[in-house]
Amino acid sequence: MDRLFELAPEFWVAAAETLYMVALTLLIGGFFGLLLGIVLYTTRPGSLLSNKPVFTIVNVVINFFRPIPFIIFIAAVQPFARYVIGTGIGNDALIFALSIASSFAISRIVEQNLLTVSPGVIEAARSMGAGPIRILRTVVLPEALGPLVLGYTFVLVALVDMTAVAGAIGGGGLGAFALTYGYRQFEPAITWAAVILIVVFVQLAQFFGNWLARKIMRR
């Protein structure tokens, strides 16, 4: 326990690093995931801008990257990280890799949630003379907003999980903290301190996501 008090400064830095990595990845991966998801949704056969070649290509690309285990993916994209952001190690390299990996995962969640919008509602908008882009912007996205918020909450929780491997490429965060000071130094109390804080983060995120979705869906 004493050791935990000694390490308190490092602990809070690690917590802040986790939040930083999760927040930035959610922003970047969330944005590109939304775009890809919209492309998947709108180009699928029978949809607003159905386009078989585009749909097939995007679909194949996503299916190519999705099954790669994240810890290997980090190593695999390291050369690109060096090229694009100037470093292949540390928190920023992790954000780079995780943003790419999560874009693909998020695109599927976005696609699934957009598909829950009733085709009848889209038909109604078409019958009023609305074009595909307008329907996407003013009907599909607003109608799917509640489920989308829940989907992003799920992603947020998954991102907390994935940032825990940052230590593998010299990054920080609560995962690295737990492994370095807890696991490797035989201090289960330290490991558990990190575990408990992560649980608190996840609970808060889930609570907020549920609250927001409920507010949007008015139930």
Report, in Å, the least distance between residue 145 CB and other proteins. Answer: 7
CA-CA distance, 23 to 39, in Å (whole number)?
24
* Helix, strand, or coil (residue 118): coil
Decide if residue 116 touches other proteins (CB under 8 A).
no
148/160 with CB nearer other proteins: 148
CA-CA distance, 92 to 108, in Å (whole number)?
25
Residue 141 exposed, middle or buried by CB count within 10 Å (0-12, 13-18, 19+)? middle
Residue of the chain from 16, 131, 133, 185 that contacts other proteins (CB under 8 A) = 131
Per CB under 8 A, which region of 1-9, 30-38, 76-84, 116-124 contacts other proteins?
Answer: 116-124
Per CB under 8 A, which region of 59-67, 75-83, 138-146, 195-203 contacts other proteins?
Answer: 138-146
Decide if residue 129 touches other proteins (CB under 8 A).
yes
Query: What token pair was written down for 45?
Result: 């056969």
Decide if residue 2 touches other proteins (CB under 8 A).
no
Which residues are within 8 A (CB) of 43 and not within 5 positions of it... i.e. 6 or more apart? 49, 50, 51, 52, 54, 55, 58
Per CB under 8 A, which region of 18-26, 41-49, 102-110, 122-130 contacts other proteins?
Answer: 122-130
Decide if residue 130 touches other proteins (CB under 8 A).
yes
Decide if residue 142 touches other proteins (CB under 8 A).
yes
Per CB under 8 A, which region of 102-110, 119-127, 152-160, 197-205 contacts other proteins?
Answer: 119-127
Residue of the chain from 126, 170, 195, 206 that contacts other proteins (CB under 8 A) = 126
Report, in Å, the least distance between residue 127 CB and other proteins. Answer: 4
How far does CA 204 lie from the centroid of its chain? 16
Q: What is the DSSP string of 34-86?
A: HHHHHHHHHHSTTSTT--HHHHHHHHHHHHHHTTS-HHHHHHHTHHHHHHHHS
> Cβ(195)–Cβ(178) under 8 Å?
yes
Decide if residue 118 touches other proteins (CB under 8 A).
yes
Give the residues lining the site for other proteins (CB under 8 A): 118, 120-121, 123-131, 134, 138-139, 142-143, 145, 216, 218
